[in-house]
Amino acid sequence: MTTCASSVSKKRLLLGITGGVAAYKAAELARLLTQEGIEVRTVMTKSACHFVGPVTFQSLTGNPVYTDLWETNAVNNMAHINLSRHVDMILVAPASADFIARLAGGMADDLLATLCLARDCPLIIAPAMNRQMWENPATQRNLSLLQRDGVRIIGPASGEQACGEIGMGRMLEASELVEMVRTAFQTGGLLQGKKVLVTAGPTFEAIDAVRGITNKSSGKMGYAVARAAVDAGATVTLVSGPTCLVPPIVDKLIQVVSAEDMLHAVQAEISQIDIFISVAAVADYRVARVCQQKIKKSDKKLSIELIPNPDILMMVSSLPEPPFCVGFAAETEDLEKNAELKRRKKNLPLLVANLAQDAIGSDESELILLDGAGKHVLPKASKMEQARHLIKHINSLYQQ
């Protein structure tokens, strides 16, 4: 088993809270972080104080709460420098659209923004906002800038929002953020400097102008793996088949349709890559002759000839100098036996096996990691959590 939660006590974290309804979740977050043994210092923006009071955080963390850039009690009147100098990480949760914009612009117009600017520790932000604010090109542009600047962005999740709308923008739950902080303290920078390529989602093989063959893969696992690799500091390229998901913020996103498109995208990137994680449910066959027009209905039987698709993972693992290759196997029966056969056939140092009927489309999965040393069971958990464990395991094998 690869799950571990070694102590992160004695670590110091600056918790930044900005204005948004999700600020109430930050109280639970402060409580859980403190319970982990982490020394939490809280900085709130003026807007955050409209949603929840500083006293709450003072009581939960046992430490003073800072709200003012012009705090006269701070040593040398330099609260901005002192506070960020003595922490191992800054976590801003919730991070509002306004705060993200100010951060992306390098502004220092309040205490929290100033601390983020005057830091030499990792900065992680957990965005929370209305779905239209999240989808707005300005917000997405700011997030891309921040990511390029090395800021880690976690979440948001999709779901019902305070305004009654449904969509992307919900801050991750406090327990998920704590898990992420724990992982970041344990694995932060684990894949720093590594280039990771992830394939995700299904492929779509056209039959005619409007029809095609695809499968039930949602892309959730592949997207979670890409996000976990970003969180671990890797430079990530995501090659995704058609999905309904909002993609994670990666360094390069290549959207494809068919297995052949996916193959070409992977071939174009692979020479740069250190670790290849093949999560996509690639169609094994495609239609021999795609009809350019819509096929008309008739009373006669219709046969479609299918020809094999290239095996992308096999192509990569057979390269003269392959990257570290990780495969996924979704099986409906004889899980371990079939998966281990697949691992050997494709010559993989690591293969992740799961039961197709349990995992496909679901938010949770149970995984079995098969490597040269045997099997490691990851009991049922969210795909994001599994992805983080997987990244840790990949790193430990990669280092050997």
Q: List the catalytic residue out of 4, 163, 244, 325.
A: 163
The closest of 312, 230, 320, 298 to 268, measured between CA atoms, is: 312
Residue of 269, 280, 218 whose CA lies nearest to 246: 218
Contact with ligand CTP (CB under 6 A): which of 139, 278, 386, 395?
278
Q: 55 or 288: whose CB is closer to ligand CTP?
A: 288
251 lies in the binding site for ligand CTP (CB under 6 A): no
Number of H helices, E strands in the chain: 15, 20
248 binds ligand CTP (CB under 6 A): no
User: Is there binding between residue 265 and ligand CTP (CB under 6 A)?
Assistant: no
Please state the length of the chain. Answer: 400
> Which of 371, 376, 374 is closest to 348 using CA atoms?
371
What are the strands of the beta sheet with 152-153, ordered from one edge? Answer: 65-66, 39-44, 12-17, 89-95, 123-127, 152-153
Out of 143, 232, 256, 282, point to the residue binding ligand CTP (CB under 6 A).
282
Residue 87 found at the interface with ligand CTP (CB under 6 A)? no
297: Cβ contacts below 8 Å, ≥ 6 apart? none
Nearest residue to 223 via CA among 184, 253, 194: 253
Name the DSSP class of 210: S
Q: Which of 330, 369, 378, 390 binds ligand CTP (CB under 6 A)?
A: 330
Q: Which of 311, 358, 364, 366 binds ligand CTP (CB under 6 A)?
A: 311
Q: Which listed range, 166-174, 327-335, 363-371, 380-388, lies at the site for ligand CTP (CB under 6 A)?
A: 327-335
Binding part of the chain for ligand CTP, among 118-126, 277-285, 292-300, 363-371 by CB under 6 A, reads: 277-285
Positions in 196-215 near ligand CTP (CB under 6 A) = 199
Nearer to ligand CTP by C-beta: 97 or 280? Answer: 280
Closest of 100, 33, 41 to residue 67, by C-alpha: 41
To the query of whether residue 163 is one of the catalytic residues in this protein, the response is yes
DSSP state letters, 47-64: HHHHHS-HHHHHHHHSS-
Q: Does 359 contact ligand CTP by CB under 6 A?
A: no
**What is the spatial distance between Cα 91 and Cα 6, in angstroms, rounded to a whole number?**
20
Candidates 312, 359, 368, 384; binder of ligand CTP (CB under 6 A) is 312
Judged by CB, which is closer to ligand CTP: 142, or 217? 217
Please report the sign of the dihedral spanned by the C-alpha atoms of residue 204, residue 247, residue 130, residue 177: positive
Interaction between residue 235 and ligand CTP (CB under 6 A): no
For the CB of residue 1, give the shortest distance to ligand CTP in the complex, in Å. Answer: 22
Task: List active site positions.
Answer: 163
Q: Which residues bind ligand CTP (CB under 6 A)?
A: 199, 259, 278, 280-282, 284, 309, 311-313, 327-330, 342
